[in-house]
Amino acid sequence: MVPSFAAIFIFGLLGSNSEGVTDPRLWLCQPAPRCGELTYNPLEQCCDDGVILDLNQTRLCGSSCTFWPCFQHCCLESLGSQNQTVVRFKVPGMKPDCMSSPITSICAQDYHPKSPLSRSDLI
């Protein structure tokens, strides 16, 4: 009886939608994702630097760009004598890296001088 149940269960999994586990009963067979000491539901939440966030939560990158911290990260990059904020994708399974992650968007350039403002910067 057990082998036939296992065969039906595996057949059901193979024939189901492989987009992800949506039946809460199947979570019993999956290890629960953890964020520090807490577990979270990856269909609704993510773990960002040890904090559980809703997937649709947004933050500001600089003064004008909105980004989703579950999927993107905000980077401050140098451009000549000024810095600009850039939103980059988080690559699943990789630590966020502002140098190699693909760019999502370049935010409107804010003025963040690297050194004190001089007259030549205004000309």
Q: What confidence tens digit (pLDDT) does each residue in 34-65 have?
A: 999 999 999 999 999 899 999 999 999 988 89
Report the DSSP pairing between strands 45-48 and 51-54. Answer: antiparallel
Residue 89 has pLDDT above 80, yes or no: yes
pLDDT score of 46: 94
The encoded tokens of residue 12 equal: 């059901």
* Burial category of 118 from C-beta neighbours within 10 Å (exposed 0-12, middle 13-18, buried 19 and up): exposed
Q: Tell me, what amino acid is at 120?
A: S
Q: What is the DSSP letter of 117?
A: -
Q: Give Cα 56 distance to the centre of its chain.
A: 11
